[in-house]
Structure 1
Amino acid sequence: MRTLGNILWFLLGGVFMGLLWWFFGVLAFISIIGIPWGRSCFVLGKFSFFPFGKEAISRDQLTGHEDVGTGALGMIGNIIWFIFAGIWLALGHLMSAVACFVTIIGIPFALQHLKLAMISLAPVGQTVVNKEDLTRKY
């Protein structure tokens, strides 16, 4: 079922949002100082292409140190990200979610777009894992 969901997702709009993530990744790489953001863009762009069966979580959850957070530099990075790319990616995911909510079949896709919209606002400190790995660990 996950494979079918990913194929439908990709064909019905996931490809556009994934490419938008990669576009911002390329722009970040061009700026040299944006390379860490660019790397995150490619990881999250791949997640945006095929999101079903994967989950975006805080890197702190992987280490078990949930009180650490992303720190001051991570917070500054998220603020810079929000201004230059986050708001645009979030709007793209929100518009896609609205379009998917129109049909009953599209509701799971819309919910996934809403998750991606939240991630796109502050991606520093996030990572993508398989859901099976997540359930095995916890």
Structure 2
Amino acid sequence: MPAVSILLNVLWILFGGVWMAAGWLVAAVIMAITIIGLPWARAAFNIAAYTLLPFGQRAVNRDTLTGQSDIGTGPLGLIGNLIWLVLAGWWLALGHLITAIALAVTIIGIPFAWAHLKLAGIALWPIGKVIVPA
């Protein structure tokens, strides 16, 4: 990871990245406890790690990366994402949005606000995403 990404990730952790990663972790644990929510828990754990260290990585659709559709990127993934949106996605996206607004007030916080806005989009539709180095 380049030095700039490391610096941005350290600043990210200090200025709000930890609490949003904790939100993702709570959602993942709740989904895992239900047993039925295990597919969502896996996606939430992956995004929690991405939320903790977003700089130097990016989220892409798994079918775009591999070139083939699978269970998480097909119709079942669509249904799974809709269920996720209702159960947990909206409040995680809202947390990212509120944090982005608070960070966008300062010039220094604008790159972090932009990262939160990207994470808000992922919060709404996480299944079928994979995290890759940028």
Would you call these one fold, judging by a TM-score over 0.5? Answer: yes
Q: Deviations over 1:102-131 (max 9, x none)?
A: 000111000000000000001011010111
| Correspondence for 2:42 | 39
Coordinate RMSD, CA, aligned: 1.4
Matched, 1:9 2:18: no
Matched, 1:53 2:52: no
Task: Give 1:90's aligned amino acid.
Answer: A
Q: Verify the 8 A CA contact 2:93 2:124 in the aligned structure 1.
A: yes
Rounded to whole Å, the distance in 2 between the matches of 1:71 and 1:3 is: 35
Give how far 1:69 is off: 8.1
| Partner SS state of residue 46, structure 1 | helix
Rounded to whole Å, the distance in 2 between the matches of 1:69 and 1:62 is: 13
Structure 2 runs not aligned, ≥5 long:
none
Matched, 1:25 2:35: no
| TM-score normalized with structure 2 length | 0.93
Task: Give 1:40's aligned amino acid.
Answer: A
How many residues matched? 130
| TM-score normalized with structure 1 length | 0.91
| Partner SS state of residue 33, structure 1 | coil
| Partner SS state of residue 97, structure 1 | helix
Q: 116, 126, 129: which one pairs with 1:123?
A: 126
Rounded to whole Å, the distance in 1 between the matches of 2:39 and 2:81 is: 12
Rounded to whole Å, the distance in 1 between the matches of 2:36 and 2:92 is: 20
| Percent of matched pairs sharing the same residue | 52
Give how far 1:65 is off: 3.6
Runs of at least 4 residues of structure 1 off by over 3 A?
none
| Correspondence for 2:74 | 71
| Partner SS state of residue 57, structure 1 | strand
Task: Give 1:14's aligned amino acid.
Answer: G
Give how far 1:72 is off: 1.4
Q: 82, 91, 96: which one pairs with 1:93?
A: 96
Rounded to whole Å, the distance in 2 between the matches of 1:123 and 1:40 is: 6
